[in-house]
Amino acid sequence: MTLFGIAWRNIRQRLLTSGLTALSLALGVALVVATLVTGRIVNRAFDSGSGLGYNMIVGAKGSPLQLVLNSVYLISKPIENVSWGFYEEFLPATARADGVDGKYAASTRTAVPICMGDYFRGHRVVGTNAAFFDRLTRGDGRPFEFAAGGNFGDDDFFGGVLGAGVAANLGLKVGDAFSPTHGADDGAVHDPFRVVGILARTDTPLDRGVFVNMEGFYLQDGHAKPLPEGEAAATSPRPSGNVPLPFNQREVTAILLETASLPGLPAELTAMGLRTAINEGRDGQAALPVAEIRQLLDLFVRPLELLLLLVTALVVLVSAIGILVSMVGSSLERSRDVAIMRALGARRGHVLATVLIEAILLAAGGGLAGWLLGHLLVGAIGPWITTNAGVTASVFSAAPLAEALLVPLLVVLAIVASLLPAIAAYRTDVAKWL
């Protein structure tokens, strides 16, 4: 019989105590794993904001963080809208009705408008144009891919594209019709759009977005801005026969900008200059999503994550103390057994090793069970995370490096915790106990 076999038999002999010790350890580890994995998911999701194909967001004056959270992560509320005229200041002459370059056109490579405020069965509806999927990228720098169908054309006023999560959750497919509601899920029901494409999964907040052609969005009840007094509603039908909303009745919630380099200036300086110019004006504000998110992470998310990790690490430490208590109890109960084994010829080293192996088995068993439980926990709360934080979390989400270190660290902790009872067993007075 090996020392491993003896240690295993000792554990089975005290099955209830050993089981409860391993369980407390497993719960602690499960909390640590869930915290680590969730933290990584949130960090990764926020970090993905750096590969979206735009580096600046322009919107109404207010909190720049709110502007970023609403526009990029589809959470929080829109601040307000900015005028269509302000949006046109970022467009080149060829894209403007008056044939003149916008004030900021030289500093702008791409400007994609988005309009928000509608919902479809719990999901944000984003009105935009075809450039959103044609010119921007999916968060990791790669172009958007469609799992089915494709992008809507600018002339397809009532075409819509669904994020992968929305299509999966609601069971919608290309060709299906869907009707957003105004302002909230229980708001007035708008005219139906038709699903023309379903995005491939991006593991970003875009997975839970509903994207519709902004021309159709503008034509819904309550979306047209009242005409200023004395102005006429100037518009003309498109080749498709659809009649768009006149420009002077339009607003946009935000403009996603990819800035250009002005001649002789590095791109960063151009962006900083543009941001300053916008923020000094009265029409709106410019926010840098990467900087805002970094600030959010540094000021709030990471300290909170650290605090959670500290609390859960304390839970694990308490569990390790549980091992210590269990092993001390076990040693006291087994002093006679230890003396018998010593009388049979077991060296002190054998006795020491048996106690340590027992602790390692408890730690490894509890640790692995906790690791599994932690992932099941993340899987279970995944839908809640997705709904509330806009990031995808599943049982397979992982924080590989931290997780790989967790169980070995736990085993080391268990060895340290079991040293005291191991030494007590080592010092057992054979003659006294026989």
Stretch binding another protein (CB under 8 A), from 5-13, 167-175, 182-190, 259-267 = 5-13
Within 40-79, the residues that bind another protein by CB under 8 A are: none
Size of the site for another protein (CB under 8 A): 24
- In 157-299, the DSSP E strands lie at 159-162, 177-178, 181-182, 193-199, 210-213, 251-252, 254-259, 285-287
100 binds another protein (CB under 8 A): no
Give the nearer residue to another protein in terms of CB position, either 3 or 106.
3
Q: Are 35 and 403 spatial neighbours (Cβ–Cβ below 8 Å)?
A: no
434 binds another protein (CB under 8 A): yes
Residues 300 and 297: their CA atoms lie apart, in Å, by 6
Residues 21 and 25: their CA atoms lie apart, in Å, by 6
Give the helix ranges, DSSP H, for 73-207.
Answer: 84-88, 131-135, 164-170
Nearest CA among 238, 219, 214 for reference residue 159: 214
Which one of residues 16, 97, 232, 431 is an interface residue with another protein (CB under 8 A)?
A: 431
Smallest separation (angstroms) from another protein to the CB of 2: 7
Smallest separation (angstroms) from another protein to the CB of 415: 22
Residues 377 and 358: their CA atoms lie apart, in Å, by 28
Give the nearer residue to another protein in terms of CB position, either 6 or 166.
6
Smallest separation (angstroms) from another protein to the CB of 332: 15
What tokens does 208 get? 């839970």
Q: Are 27 and 373 spatial neighbours (Cβ–Cβ below 8 Å)?
A: yes
3-state secondary structure of 432: helix
CA distance readout (Å), 392 to 42, 162, 167, 415: 9, 15, 14, 37
Which one of residues 77, 142, 173, 336 is an interface residue with another protein (CB under 8 A)?
A: 336
Within 338-377, the residues that bind another protein by CB under 8 A are: 340-350
Within 175-204, the residues that bind another protein by CB under 8 A are: none
CA atoms within 13 A on the CB side of 308: 18
Give the nearer residue to another protein in terms of CB position, either 275 or 342.
342
Stretch binding another protein (CB under 8 A), from 6-14, 149-157, 177-185, 202-210 = 6-14
Residues 134 and 151: their CA atoms lie apart, in Å, by 8
225 binds another protein (CB under 8 A): no
Q: Which residue has the tokens 């899987």?
A: 379
423 binds another protein (CB under 8 A): no
Give the nearer residue to another protein in terms of CB position, either 44 or 348.
348
Q: Are 367 and 410 spatial neighbours (Cβ–Cβ below 8 Å)?
A: yes
Angle at 78 between CA 66 and CA 211, to 5 degrees: 115
427 binds another protein (CB under 8 A): no
CA distance readout (Å), 185 to 121, 179, 182: 6, 11, 7
Smallest separation (angstroms) from another protein to the CB of 324: 21
Smallest separation (angstroms) from another protein to the CB of 364: 21
Stretch binding another protein (CB under 8 A), from 150-158, 185-193, 235-243, 426-434 = 426-434
Give the nearer residue to another protein in terms of CB position, either 301 or 340.
340
Q: Are 37 and 317 spatial neighbours (Cβ–Cβ below 8 Å)?
A: no
Question: How many Å separate Cα 216 from the centre of its chain?
Answer: 30
Smallest separation (angstroms) from another protein to the CB of 426: 11
Which one of residues 1, 16, 97, 232 is an interface residue with another protein (CB under 8 A)?
A: 1
Smallest separation (angstroms) from another protein to the CB of 430: 5
**What DSSP letter does each residue of 350-365 carry, written as one string?**
HHHHHHHHHHHHHHHH
Smallest separation (angstroms) from another protein to the CB of 353: 12
Q: Phi/psi of residue 209, each to 5°?
A: -100, 150
Give the nearer residue to another protein in terms of CB position, either 6 or 359.
6
Within 8-47, the residues that bind another protein by CB under 8 A are: 9-10, 12-13
Smallest separation (angstroms) from another protein to the CB of 15: 10
304 binds another protein (CB under 8 A): no
Smallest separation (angstroms) from another protein to the CB of 381: 41
Q: Phi/psi of residue 75, each to 5°?
A: -125, 175
Smallest separation (angstroms) from another protein to the CB of 398: 39
Smallest separation (angstroms) from another protein to the CB of 429: 8
Give the nearer residue to another protein in terms of CB position, either 335 or 394.
335
- Where on the chain is the footprint of another protein (CB under 8 A)? 1-3, 6, 9-10, 12-13, 336-337, 340-350, 430-431, 434
